[in-house]
Amino acid sequence: LLRVMAETQLQASTDTLTGLLNRRSLSEKVSAMQEDLQPMAVAMADLDHFKALNDTYGHDTGDRALRLFARVLRDSLRSSDVASRYGGEEFAIAFPDCSATDATRVLDAIRTHLDAALTVGGLPKFTVSFGVCETQPGEDLDAGLHRADEALMRAKRLGRDRVVRYEGLNSEGEVVEDLTSSRLARDFAVQIEE
């Protein structure tokens, strides 16, 4: 009976396709975190052109793409980080005791790991865009995720396949990004290393 209850609890808290937490469980887990795990960064991720992937290759391939991305997330994050499938092809990640700058580095590494995993996994190429921000002490998760989502939309408008860090809004109401988080800056850093 205890085993059945534990399995039922697990099924209620996770997304059946990816094995990641669902949206409600993410919220519960983050709100249970200690206040001393500040700063906390939160990120929203969206698989780029996912509808086209589904339409072109079928829903089975789309499901495999979601599972592969979830595996890349699990393999790339610390044990204290919390990832969830937020809905459809959107994912949310909480990075306790982590600045937005450090989370940006992790997210860029996830993009690189995804590209390598796609080569090995035999799936059609796809990319992911991220928006990330740092939460304020006492701020609820939804407010942080809202800002991360605004940064994600900015990443999409800039051409996708990048990380945009929320730094505020300009006079037109658009997200101001930190150039260190853009793909341009990453490419520049690679050129310097070469």
Provide φ and ψ at 90, rounded to 5°. Answer: -100, 140
Q: Is 15 helix (H, G, I), strand (E, B) or coil?
A: coil
Instruction: List all residues 6 or more positions away from 165 whose beta carbon is below 8 Å from its beta carbon.
Output: 100, 101, 104, 131, 132, 133, 151, 177, 178, 180, 181
Q: Token digits for 51? A: 């509808």
With contact defined as beta carbons under 8 Å apart, do 48 and 129 qualify?
yes
For the annotated catalytic residues, the residue numbers are 89
